[in-house]
Structure 1
Amino acid sequence: MADRLSPRDLAFLVQETATAPRHNATLDILEPGDSGFDYDAFLDLVADRLSFVPRYRQRIQVVPGRIANPVWIDDERFDLEYHARRSALPRPGNMAQLRDLTARILSRPLDRSRPLWEMYFIEGLEGGRIAILAKTHQALVDGLDTVDLGQILLDVSPEAKPLGADAWNPRRASARGLVFGAVRDTLMDVDTFTNTVDGARTSLGKRAGMIGRRVETVRGLLGVRRVVPDNPLLGDLSQQRIFVTADSSLEDYRTIRKAHGGTINDAILAVIAGGLRGWLMTRAESLVGLREISALVPVSVIDDDLEATALGSQIAPHFVQLPIAENSPVVRLHQVSYSFEKHQQVTRAVAANRLAGITGFAPTTFHAMGARVAAVQERHFQVSVTNVPGPQTLRYAAGAELVASYPVHPLLPGHGLAIGITSYAGKVMIGINADRDLIPDAEVLGQCISEALLELLDASNGGREQAPRGRRRSETKRETDQ
């Protein structure tokens, strides 16, 4: 039976537009030291690990007549140097220049005629460091059949450990074979027939959406006013992005947890809420009508009703109302904690140390899975915030030490902001992806998030504020303590 796209994966392709490309990304910064890690070594490393993710050498092929969902087939013209590219900044390149380059690369969609991923080996950073920007389509990584390539590029020790590149020989696929396989699978497998029907509905839905957008365009030309969402995070996307990073110490969040209870995840979300509040105030936005921001926070859970993944857990949506109108940072923290306390009563969240202990650098895969969850729930929230705990011991790429890793979540139609967070080796690193037209001051948001952390940390070091009656979190450490 052919390896066909599921209805969800097909939806990621069908719903993709020039203003909302559906790819995840990760920006890693490495310190080569004396390892000799250069572009050639990078190519060797990627070639050595590709056999563990065979889909990275496959492309999507539409079945003639569209009588079944598209299939994954081997790319006969696969060119590693096309996908693993070399780039550079003017020496000595700083973080601002690296973020600008990242934003430009994020703005471009992937070539659908080839395997849906790219990696950029970026040289010229100050201090002799290099960066690797990895970009993968949402249809490529599902955590079940395929993990993110970035997860298996990193080792636990600086000694390079070649795993042995395979002698790959692509299998040819003919139009006749594709049609025959589609007919056979549809007749013999109920799931294939159901998926084909679902795929056709998705395509019809896109056509209806395109007609709707054309109607809106005509209405605009005729002078009919379009209703604009009364929220600075929502609106029509442009084709350009802004990427912002923020760094902090994991120990600061542990200090907050020790002072006020809850989990590190609670503290991080409270800081994000404080950052959004501060950012809105710099814009002179009134908080009278906007007291909360609805955030989607994908959570890794153990739930027998959900499909298991290759990583041993599932990603479920959890909605949190970020209390941006609340002045007290501690009260904001307790309100976020209360939301997760209710969530804990209906799901069994996976402990952070279990996620961090998964082989390789699993945050890249979990961020991809979190983005898939957000895509399904896009109409029910205003901003997605995905926090993934990573290993607290160092990781290496062919001897080069990983010093930072910033997740980049895709923007969904109508959503101007997405936030990804990864903790690693005692650090908490935030990647902010924003639309350049909707949120041109995304850099200010990054600064406000850092200031919100200092505000909550000061309240933790200088004495505890009391939570409202009935919402005092227990000091008992939860199983999901991250």
Structure 2
Amino acid sequence: MAPPEGDSVEAVTPAGRLFLLPEMDIIIHCAIGFKNKIDIDSTRSAIKNSLMLKHPRFCSLLVRDKNGREHWKKTDIDIDQHFIIVNQKNDSRSSFTDADDADKVVNEYIADLSVSTPLDISKPLWEVHVLLEQNCAILRIHHALGDGISLMSLFLAICRTAGDPEKIPTLVTGRRPYYGKEGNQQDWRGCYFESSADGLTVISGGDGVELWPRKLATAKFLIEDMKTVKRAVANATINDVVFGVISSGLSRYLDQKRSPKALQEGQQITGMAMVNLREKQTLQDISEMLKNNSGSQSRWGNRFGFILLPTFYHKHNVDPLEHVRRAKKMIDRKKQTVEAHFAYRIAHLAMSLLGPKAAYILNYRILCNTTFMFSNVVGPQEVIAITGNPITFVRVNTSSIPHSLTMHMVSYAGRADMQILVARDIIPDPEFLAKCFEDALVEMKEAAAAAV
């Protein structure tokens, strides 16, 4: 299809072209839990009249010109085509009644969506699945439309604070973790390829694993518990605590589910941590985020890099806080490099000079030679609502990639939920892995209290 000339057509960004490749086709799933039954009509109306449908990416079709180049073409939205109502009442899983069982139903549904379930390109690349019995809506958005920071800003534009139906919620104001800055004299040692020699472990994925069936579990944390641990380690941050929990939790899992004799003390398990490269972390001015091609560091789209995140297996006999100290030492060193910017620029250069196929091969090679992926998006501190219905949780994951383990954390109203998506033939029990992470934080909190 050859797109017409004029303002109704916008070229797809290099990052968007990469995510649109059939080999990748990355989709973001945002699960939104509600306190009360979902009113379909009012929810549909709220989205229809929100900033979401004023943004051109969400009211445009993906088209290709005669040379195969992708463009966004403005179109009229039929909101009904984007809503999929799922009633599990006649499903055997609907016998679940408590919150944990409802979580299992939602996670199972998302896990099924996360493998080989593309979005329909005959309409804009987003849709909303409403699970009526579980009071949950799942917003599916193609990654080509934006990254986690962009999409969080858009999500908040739909919501209002639970205490004031006229007030748009805000994010935590604070300083974004610093991972170098382009143009500054930073340390290039270790950029990008540091710690890339990841030894194969029993939880490693690899070529073709993106097509394997998935399971999904949720690890739940209290932000106050993380702050307690943070205060016990000098100059630590919440991210230091989170990475310490990941290190400790993986060691716990490998200790209890796999043969310790097959693991060496200190064996490296390398992951990838996504890093937001926008200068502004707060999203108070949502309208600025929604401006196309504004040139601002806060602009809409995909603007993130990554750092390689080496964690290490340790037998369960070390000081729990030592995991945090090790994580802090490693992350402090990463912050002095331009590794995240370097990763972003290399991918952009590969896209610009060699095209999406070459960029995909580079990206895929890195994915196949690391073990897991982690991202962390900050959500609002206060309870928020859509059409007056309070939201109980916000959880995110992406469709499957060659990793056997991906972890996406979102903080909201004093809690942090981590979605743990696994290749079920490699990690058959993600619920136990989630408990390993939860127990790791509890043990760290107890150690922090004892150290006072």
Deviation at 1:310, TM superposition (A): 1.9
Q: Residues 381 and 82 of structure 1: is their aligned pair in 2 closer, same or farther, counting only changes over 3 Å? A: same
- Letter matched to residue 144 of structure 2: A
Q: Report the equivalent of 2:203.
A: 232
Q: Tell me, yes or no, if the aligned pair for 1:27 and 1:406 is still in contact at 8 Å.
A: yes
SS in structure 1 at match of 2:325: helix
Q: Tell me, yes or no, if the aligned pair for 1:233 and 1:439 is still in contact at 8 Å.
A: no
Q: Report the equivalent of 1:265.
A: 239
Q: Tell me, yes or no, if the aligned pair for 1:294 and 1:381 is still in contact at 8 Å.
A: yes
| Structure index of larger Rg | 1
Q: How far apart in 1 are the matches of 2:137 and 2:363?
A: 25
Q: How far apart in 1 are the matches of 2:28 and 2:313?
A: 27
- Letter matched to residue 71 of structure 2: V
SS in structure 2 at match of 1:462: helix
Deviation at 1:114, TM superposition (A): 2.2
User: Is 1:344–2:335 an aligned residue pair?
Assistant: yes
Q: Report the equivalent of 2:426.
A: 438
Q: How far apart in 2 are the matches of 1:45 and 1:110?
A: 22
User: Is 1:114–2:123 an aligned residue pair?
Assistant: yes
Q: How far apart in 1 are the matches of 2:335 and 2:200?
A: 32
Q: Tell me, yes or no, if the aligned pair for 1:408 and 1:420 is still in contact at 8 Å.
A: yes
Aligned pairs for 1:170-249 (under 5 A) are 230-235=201-206, 236-237=208-209, 238-249=211-222
Q: How far apart in 2 are the matches of 1:302 and 1:121?
A: 32
User: Is 1:295–2:275 an aligned residue pair?
Assistant: no
Q: Report the equivalent of 2:30.
A: 26
Q: Tell me, yes or no, if the aligned pair for 2:220 and 2:416 is still in contact at 8 Å.
A: yes
Q: Residues 159 and 82 of structure 1: is their aligned pair in 2 closer, same or farther, counting only changes over 3 Å? A: farther
Q: Residues 65 and 399 of structure 1: is their aligned pair in 2 closer, same or farther, counting only changes over 3 Å? A: same
SS in structure 1 at match of 2:145: coil
User: Is 1:404–2:416 an aligned residue pair?
Assistant: no
SS in structure 1 at match of 2:241: helix
User: Is 1:3–2:10 an aligned residue pair?
Assistant: yes
- Letter matched to residue 82 of structure 2: H
SS in structure 2 at match of 1:299: strand
Q: How far apart in 1 are the matches of 2:15 and 2:386?
A: 33
Q: Tell me, yes or no, if the aligned pair for 1:27 and 1:407 is still in contact at 8 Å.
A: yes
Q: Residues 156 and 250 of structure 1: is their aligned pair in 2 closer, same or farther, counting only changes over 3 Å? A: same
Deviation at 1:239, TM superposition (A): 4.4
User: Is 1:253–2:243 an aligned residue pair?
Assistant: no
Gaps of at least 5 residues in structure 1 are: 164-227, 350-372, 465-482
Q: How far apart in 1 are the matches of 2:301 and 2:214?
A: 34
Deviation at 1:149, TM superposition (A): 4.4
Q: How far apart in 2 are the matches of 1:284 and 1:143?
A: 34
Q: Deviations over 1:192-229 (max 9, x none)?
A: xxxxxxxxxxxxxxxxxxxxxxxxxxxxxxxxxxxx95
Deviation at 1:308, TM superposition (A): 2.0
Deviation at 1:61, TM superposition (A): 0.7
User: Identity, % of aligned pairs?
Assistant: 20
Q: How far apart in 2 are the matches of 1:123 and 1:149?
A: 23
Q: How far apart in 2 are the matches of 1:388 and 1:336?
A: 19
Q: How far apart in 2 are the matches of 1:390 and 1:145?
A: 12
2:59 to 57, 60, 81: 57
Q: Tell me, yes or no, if the aligned pair for 2:307 and 2:339 is still in contact at 8 Å.
A: no
- Letter matched to residue 110 of structure 1: L
Q: Report the equivalent of 2:313.
A: 324
Gaps of at least 5 residues in structure 2 are: 1-5, 169-198, 281-294, 341-361
Q: How far apart in 2 are the matches of 1:229 and 1:82?
A: 44
SS in structure 1 at match of 2:49: helix
Q: Deviations over 1:282-339 (max 9, x none)?
A: 33242218712112112234669x9823279953322221122264222211110011
TM-score when normalising by structure 2: 0.72
Q: Tell me, yes or no, if the aligned pair for 1:253 and 1:264 is still in contact at 8 Å.
A: yes
Q: Residues 297 and 143 of structure 1: is their aligned pair in 2 closer, same or farther, counting only changes over 3 Å? A: closer
Q: Report the equivalent of 2:47.
A: 46
Q: How far apart in 1 are the matches of 2:278 and 2:369?
A: 23
- Letter matched to residue 425 of structure 1: A
Q: Report the equivalent of 2:346.
A: none
